[in-house]
Amino acid sequence: MKDRIIANINSHFALSKEMLSKAGLIEEAADKIITALKNGGTLYICGNGGSAADSQHFAAELIGRFLMEREPIKALALTSNTSILTAIGNDYGYDKVFERQVDAFVGPKDILFGISTSGNSANIINALKMAKKKGALSMSLLGCGGGKMAQESDLSIICASNETPRVQEMHILLIHILCSVIENKLFPSN
């Protein structure tokens, strides 16, 4: 059992080190989010399962606070309203649960931020396509080579792993890094 524990920890740290090569891309994502927010845009976030939890966590850190007392930052997880999700899922199919919300809320000043370990979530792919139609910028946090979402996103940060737990660990690290940079750039005097 100890060997399994050590192997998991070593796998985590190896992937963390690989993520250092993504620093420029992470900075670019943060800059684009900051620009959109400064221009009156909103960050809309979506994902399924653990990535839905990450979507809500990301929005909560921005609306509440990450490390400093400050004004709330405009972010919304499209995973939060169970009535909307179940109504759309029931009436149109699960593949449309984010697309319909993007059609209703997202505009050219906004960013749609998709999170997926596989990069092949049909409902997020549909939402990314709708964001493009609405003139919004799209970003994704992905694993497993990026999947189809990488092709639909304007900017993708891809974790070089096919192991869902490792990808999810890197996603929460990247979300926390983005929150830190966004918060510090928008509120430099705090």
User: pLDDT band at residue 190, thresholds of 50, 70 and 90?
Assistant: confident
- Tell me the per-residue pLDDT of 3-40, one tens digit each, with 9 for 90 and over: 999 999 989 998 889 899 999 999 999 999 999 999 99
CB neighbour list of residue 6: distance below 8 Å, 6 or more residues apart: none
The pTM for the full model equals 0.96
When the pLDDT of each residue in the chain is averaged and rounded to a whole number, the result is: 96
User: pLDDT band at residue 85, thresholds of 50, 70 and 90?
Assistant: very high
Q: List the chain domain ranges.
A: 2-186
Mean pLDDT (whole number) for 59-85: 97
- Tell me the per-residue pLDDT of 139-168, one tens digit each, with 9 for 90 and over: 999 999 999 999 999 999 999 999 999 999
Mean pLDDT (whole number) for 109-115: 98
- CATH of region 2-186: 3.40.50.10490
- 1-10, 97-106, 111-120 — which is least confidently predicted? 1-10
* DSSP states of 64-106: S-SSS------EEETTS-HHHHHHHHHHH-GGGTTHHHHHHH-
- Give the per-residue pLDDT at 15: 87
How many C-alpha atoms does 50 have within 13 Å on its Cβ side? 14
